[in-house]
Structure 1
Amino acid sequence: MAGMLLLLACWTAFASTTFFWREDTYEAFSQGKREGVSLSRDGELSLAPKLELVADLGELYVWSMASDAEGNLYAGTGNEGKVFRISSDGKVELIFDSPEVGIQSLAVDGRGTVYAGSSPDGVVYRIPPDRPPSVFCRTGKQYVWALAFGEGGKLYAATGPGGALLRVEEGKAEEVFRAPEDNLVCLLPDGDGGFYAGGAGKGLVYHVDARGRTRVLYDAPEREVHALTLGNGGVLYVGAMSGEGEEAQTRCAVYRVEGGLARPIWRFKSPLLLTLNFLQSGELPLLVGTGKEGELHLLSSDGKRHLHLARMEGGYPLCALEVERGVYVGTGDLGKVYRLERAYVDTGRFTSRVYDSGAPSRWGRVMWNARSPKGTEVLLRTRSGNTEEPDETWNDWSKPLRKPGPITSPPARFLQYQIVLRSDGKKTPIVRKVVLSGVQANLPPEVRALSIGPYRAERGPGEGQPPQPKPRGVPAKRGVFLVRWEVEDPNGDRMSFRLLIRPVGEKEWKVLEDELTAPSYVWDTETTADGEYELKVEASDLPSNPPDVALTGERISRPFFVDHAAPHIEAEVHADGHKVRLEGRVWDETTPLKGLSYAVDSGKWRVVLPEDGVWDSREERFSIELSLEPGGHWVVLRALDLMENAGVRRVRVEVRPPRGP
């Protein structure tokens, strides 16, 4: 903390451009952490309903639930295969300890007899209210996934493997139909003596009418149809999931099936959708439980409104049931039963994601848009630090604000806010938008690279001509340079640039060009004397800051030559019959030589190497051996320096004819 305070003490200037951090959407708020807070699809934060623990059954899983006419709740569990009764006054009683691993399904008839479907032996047990439990039917399957009563009070079972729908009687199981997939995992009476069933493996939804005729109602893109529920007007809702696996996009979805047509009304990036219930009260009647994160959602019947209701601590929803006294949720991992209350929690907290301002910053104000009915309250506080993840080096939470105002957290790079919602339980405050502002500490621009090279102009097509392939570039004019630089400003400020020049060895810089706005400059060196120079570029963030705040960064180039003069050539001719030798030297007063070539009588240019084999000095010697026909000849020598300056020398050579015998 002391090091951080020392850093803050050194900051003397802040940039003038204010930045704003705004959160007012579901996507933005969903990146934060919620405790007792719900989030709607419209991006509204509110208090979550109370989720009261009704019973801790001491099991790992509550696989199934059912209720009787007296208001008693029954829970089937695993991994010990037990059935519990939870009375209306909260009393928990073990009524059956089976030899099975799990009680996957429960159903209660009008006389209060409980039927329990089990795994892995696929037995249906009967638990009368006044007699000991007994085996009702051995199905011959491993799993009895779902139980439901049909027309005439007959009991039906969805089973697997084999995907069979069975009519179950005492000591007898009759197959009604067999699905083309491994398991039938959910079963729902259609209200007309038939059933809807969902399969796992192909993700099919089946309808079996009262006569036993079966048809596929919908083929979901997901692998498993795990939950079915009926809404108002007989509308069918289908909960489907992809299941856990290695797919790039695991998902679950809710479909609305009406008039023989199915359409998705909600999708979620979770591999599991385990519960789906149509509630008889509330504006958002569809209750959905997803994922091992233990999330509960509420949807409108058309899916256009969505409320991320709560995240269950220490478990995930496996089953849910609405009875007269409320909505109950059974969980996995910690085998508990909760009741979803109509009242709100007293206090909820939303902690935002960490905001990175990109540089040390001074904070401005925080504003929020909220509705706070009487008996409710919204508080907001902030904290700041210089590490990406909050740790012990961060500043403490500020004093909470009850209305928008200045952010009092010390300057730092990172900022986080927390909203505290409070209520008397009858109503909830709603937060729709949070906006925080700040200004970065002004940091100097950084000139990362500076290069100087010959300027090559691009030829464009002539007027009226079609576009031509882009040429490689041709020199626009000898002695014209293209100066380029790369610059980055940590604050993202607009830049202006200044170019300066000095001869190598001197201290004083002279301004070459000022008030440049582009990171390049075409420099014509015609008025610059030959010699070795350095360039310096200065980058300033003055266009975005007041003069007393603006900062500069600079970079000096490597030494380079300005050379307008051509190389000099000296040559002597030595002739011996038709054999001719040209000897001489080439020199340049400023830059090293690049090469020498010659042409005889306007013929092709031919390359010459210096005596030491490498053109790399300002003076080199050369020798050329020629074999020429008798008569006069012109030999043209052309020397180039590194700046492409060309020096030319023409030499007259006379070759005498050989003497007669």
Structure 2
Amino acid sequence: MNSYQDFIHGRFQGISLTREGRLALAPKIESIFSSDQPVVWGVAPGLDGSLYVATGHRGRLYRIDKSGKSALIWTADQSEIFAVVADTKGAIYAATSPDGKIYRIENGKATEYFAPQAKYIWSLAMAPEGTLYAGTGDQGKVFRVDAAGKGEVLYSTGQSHVTGLAIDRNGQVLAGTEPNGILYRISGKDKAFVLYDANLPEIRALSAAPDGAIYAVAMGGSLAKRTQGVQQNVPAQSGGPVVAATGTSISVTAESAQAGPEIKPQPDPAKPAPAAPPPVTTTFSPTVDVSGVEKSAVYRINQDNTVETLWSSKEENVYDLLPWKGQLLFSTDANGRVYRLSPDRKLTLVAQTNEAEATRLVRSGDSILAATGNMGRVYRLEDSLERLGVYEAPVHDASTVAQRGHISWRADETSGGGILFRTRTGNSLRPDKTWSDWSAPLTNATGSRISSPNARYIQWKAEFTGLQDKTPVLENVNVAYLPQNTPPVLKSITVVTQLAAAGGAKPVQQSPTAVYSITVTDTGDAAPAMSTGTPTQTPSRAASQQLNISWQAEDPDGDRL
């Protein structure tokens, strides 16, 4: 293993990975807040240095003070708080869903600020002068709300949902939408320009850089329609049953909110649903798995409106992004990873939270905060490095029971610290209690004997130790083993007698009655007329009669027969 693709499918604990395939200790990542909620939807730094954390699926807003102490400050009537922002005077604004409103929280008291009469409020953006913008669904409108709480429709996109908002350096509103993945720049009431029409259905997050560039995240799937982040429930008649679109989604109802998200099929339209508050379907909806189709992409829209695709993936969904110190950070749903993209497009896996999704990235002083889903937590990424880290390689399948040899590796430990290895083996695909224990430490980089018992599957892990904020770097790992040799299988032999013409002319085949065939198969079927395994060979004979022998055979190990 010596490349990014080799290492990326392993498990990272305090380890980072560069695009060149180098493993090293990662920046320190610390959990500073853990809620009892399944997901953190948003984090807003307050004027006093506190953090305000919006969660689902019970509509709770928390405050984390500068000392790290957290407290629940407000619970909404609705199940979700999808967005939260702070103004320059210290007030906090929280957007609730479904059928929600925007609330202003100040001095621990929440008051209704604006009701857009929309099903969902997905996004909020605060302009420097104090104007609040709200992106809504299911009618895809952007609202402008002044300091007095008076609002109006700024622009109706014609899309179903406005899923992302940002303010550019000129004070214009950027709006990302779903389901057609269109990015708008709104310059005034009912005035907008399409900056980009992505081939993915949802513009999830936006960020305007100081140099005028705009960064956008799109997610969904190019050829298959992703199960919508929002499933609109349409009543068949007044007071009648709710009819839901078919498909698979993660639904949250008032009854199931305490237990977190539950993956289940939508109700059969033929069966009436019980009268209940409308369910909220989170954006953690599973996507339709189509091999080879992009799941997400990161774009840069330059000042001249040209668009560059900086990164795309067929395996990971990107949830948020953040320009940081001349580089670009973005977070995904692959074990809650945070990546860093340099100006020359070199990718580094900076940290892995080992949560289901990293939903938001927020700047807080000199640190970066990452909010997560599956378990609603907030992590802080620091500039200093972890002192210890562990990388677990993917399980390797030898196809059959194999004799273990040596493990060797190439590493740079000149900066301090060290790396040691351990191995374990088993005969089930996934490591479980039937596997061997992790071996004693292996320290000889040129070749350490693997002491784990012979088995079909093997896994290794590397334990990193840093020294004075410096890290060793692992570049290459080789595992030697000898698989059990599987004997070849002889499937058929065909013998044909021929007459050789004088003077070396082409042999003349006799009548079909001169053909003798021996077939070895599990079913007893006749052998094919010509072998597909080995070409026909004609032994040289002095007499005029010759034998034409052909056979069909295969070797499971690929050895030459």
Shared fold, TM over 0.5: yes
1:521 matched to which residue of 2?
537
**Against the structure 1 CA distance between its residues 441 and 54, is the aligned structure 2 distance closer, same or farther, given a 3 Å change threshold?**
closer
State the AA in 1 paired with 2:317: L
**Against the structure 1 CA distance between its residues 176 and 25, is the aligned structure 2 distance closer, same or farther, given a 3 Å change threshold?**
same
Rounded to whole Å, the distance in 1 between the matches of 2:545 and 2:125 is 100
Q: Which among 205, 217, 237 is matched to residue 239 of structure 1? A: 217
Q: Secondary structure at the match of 1:27?
A: helix
Q: Which runs of structure 2 are paired with 1:218-237 in the superposition (5 Å)?
A: 218-237=196-215
Shift of 1:421: 1.4
Which structure 2 segments of 5+ residues have no match? 221-225, 227-285, 501-505, 521-533
Shift of 1:33: 3.1
Q: Secondary structure at the match of 1:152?
A: coil
1:429 matched to which residue of 2?
472
**Against the structure 1 CA distance between its residues 455 and 438, is the aligned structure 2 distance closer, same or farther, given a 3 Å change threshold?**
farther
**Against the structure 1 CA distance between its residues 434 and 153, is the aligned structure 2 distance closer, same or farther, given a 3 Å change threshold?**
same
Rounded to whole Å, the distance in 2 between the matches of 1:411 and 1:55 is 44
Larger Rg: 1
1:420 and 2:420 aligned: no
Shift of 1:206: 0.6
Rounded to whole Å, the distance in 2 between the matches of 1:324 and 1:34 is 26
Structure 1 contact 485–519 (Cα < 8 Å) conserved: no
State the AA in 2 paired with 1:41: R
1:68 and 2:84 aligned: no
1:658 matched to which residue of 2?
none
Q: Secondary structure at the match of 1:148?
A: strand
**Against the structure 1 CA distance between its residues 455 and 345, is the aligned structure 2 distance closer, same or farther, given a 3 Å change threshold?**
farther
Q: Which among 108, 133, 150 is matched to residue 156 of structure 1? A: 133
2:262 matched to which residue of 1?
none
1:308-356 CA-to-partner distances (Å, cap 9, x unmatched) read 2333234422222111041112222222222122233333222223334
1:346 and 2:387 aligned: yes
Structure 2 contact 405–482 (Cα < 8 Å) conserved: yes
Rounded to whole Å, the distance in 2 between the matches of 1:279 and 1:380 is 34
**Against the structure 1 CA distance between its residues 211 and 172, is the aligned structure 2 distance closer, same or farther, given a 3 Å change threshold?**
closer
1:268 matched to which residue of 2?
313
1:513 matched to which residue of 2?
none
Structure 1 contact 480–522 (Cα < 8 Å) conserved: no
**Against the structure 1 CA distance between its residues 442 and 341, is the aligned structure 2 distance closer, same or farther, given a 3 Å change threshold?**
same
Shift of 1:373: 4.5
Structure 1 contact 479–524 (Cα < 8 Å) conserved: no
1:233-282 CA-to-partner distances (Å, cap 9, x unmatched) read 1211110100533251350110111120112111122463221111237x
Rounded to whole Å, the distance in 1 between the matches of 2:518 and 2:216 is 61
Rounded to whole Å, the distance in 2 between the matches of 1:528 and 1:388 is 59
1:300 and 2:342 aligned: yes
Rounded to whole Å, the distance in 2 between the matches of 1:211 and 1:64 is 28
How many residues matched?
A: 470
Rounded to whole Å, the distance in 2 between the matches of 1:193 and 1:290 is 29
Structure 2 contact 16–25 (Cα < 8 Å) conserved: yes
**Against the structure 1 CA distance between its residues 411 and 481, is the aligned structure 2 distance closer, same or farther, given a 3 Å change threshold?**
farther
441-450 or 255-264: bigger deviation: 441-450
350-359 or 196-205: bigger deviation: 350-359
1:625 matched to which residue of 2?
none
Rounded to whole Å, the distance in 1 between the matches of 2:448 and 2:67 is 51
State the AA in 1 paired with 2:305: G
1:41 and 2:83 aligned: no
Identity among equivalent positions (%) equals: 30
Structure 2 contact 420–464 (Cα < 8 Å) conserved: yes
Rounded to whole Å, the distance in 2 between the matches of 1:218 and 1:413 is 50
Rounded to whole Å, the distance in 1 between the matches of 2:75 and 2:324 is 31
1:98 matched to which residue of 2?
76
State the AA in 1 paired with 2:312: R
State the AA in 2 paired with 1:376: G
Name the structure, 1 or 2, with higher relative contact order (CA <8 Å, separation 6+). 2
Rounded to whole Å, the distance in 2 between the matches of 1:370 and 1:176 is 57
Rounded to whole Å, the distance in 1 between the matches of 2:82 and 2:99 is 11
Structure 2 contact 169–210 (Cα < 8 Å) conserved: no
Shift of 1:229: 1.2
Rounded to whole Å, the distance in 1 between the matches of 2:410 and 2:192 is 54
State the AA in 2 paired with 1:268: S
Structure 1 contact 370–433 (Cα < 8 Å) conserved: yes
248-257 or 91-100: bigger deviation: 91-100
1:142 and 2:119 aligned: yes
State the AA in 2 paired with 1:319: R
1:449 and 2:449 aligned: no
Q: Which among 156, 160, 171 is matched to residue 178 of structure 1? A: 156
Q: Which runs of structure 2 are paired with 1:395-544 in the superposition (5 Å)?
A: 395-404=436-445, 405-409=447-451, 410-424=453-467, 426-440=469-483, 445-454=488-497, 475-476=508-509, 520-523=536-539, 527=543
Rounded to whole Å, the distance in 1 between the matches of 2:458 and 2:161 is 51
1:370 and 2:411 aligned: yes
1:118 and 2:105 aligned: no
State the AA in 2 paired with 1:184: V
More strand by share: 1
1:564-617 CA-to-partner distances (Å, cap 9, x unmatched) read xxxxxxxxxxxxxxxxxxxxxxxxxxxxxxxxxxxxxxxxxxxxxxxxxxxxxx
Rounded to whole Å, the distance in 2 between the matches of 1:158 and 1:529 is 89
Which structure 1 segments of 5+ residues have no match? 1-22, 458-472, 488-517, 546-551, 554-661
